[in-house]
Amino acid sequence: MLSRRDFATVASCALCSLSGFIATDASAQTPPPATNGTPGVKRKILSQTDGPTPGYTTLVVDIEIEPGVFIGRHTHPGIESAYMLEGGFDLPIEGQPTRTFKPGDGVVIPPNTPHAGGKNGDKKSHIVSTYIVEKGKPLASPA
């Protein structure tokens, strides 16, 4: 069994991210489309598998956010781990001070914790995220 720290390390190394999953109707059982109708946000599911335990699914998602696009406040029904490849933005996570999420940074967002993203400036943001979420629930919900 993994300790919390080991799990966070594995999840972060699995490359996870903040999200182009802005309040979509996509469920954890049905992968979201490459775009979700939000102008300036593109996502591509790199892998999806059942587990790590029954009732959960794991998705690894490549996300690109065009300059100036704001990611609205939302939650996920499971853990989100993200790694910023390029670009960056302010990352407000409820219960934590807002941080600047920049290339080379990783973040783990606890289940059902409201978060958003903004002020991504004049560069495209490129993130890889891993979501370990409950099956049958919307992958993202407005918060």
Greatest alpha-carbon span in the chain: 43
Q: Is 102 helix (H, G, I), strand (E, B) or coil?
A: coil
pLDDT at 36: 54
pLDDT of residue 38: 67
pLDDT at 139: 84
pLDDT truncated to tens, each residue of the chain (143 aa)?
444 444 343 333 333 333 333 333 334 444 444 445 568 889 999 999 999 999 999 999 999 999 999 989 999 999 999 999 999 999 999 999 999 999 999 999 999 999 998 877 789 999 999 999 999 898 889 99
Angle in degrees, CA 131, 27, 78, rounded to 5? 35
Cβ pair 78, 133 in contact under 8 A: yes
Contact 83, 15 (CB under 8 A): yes
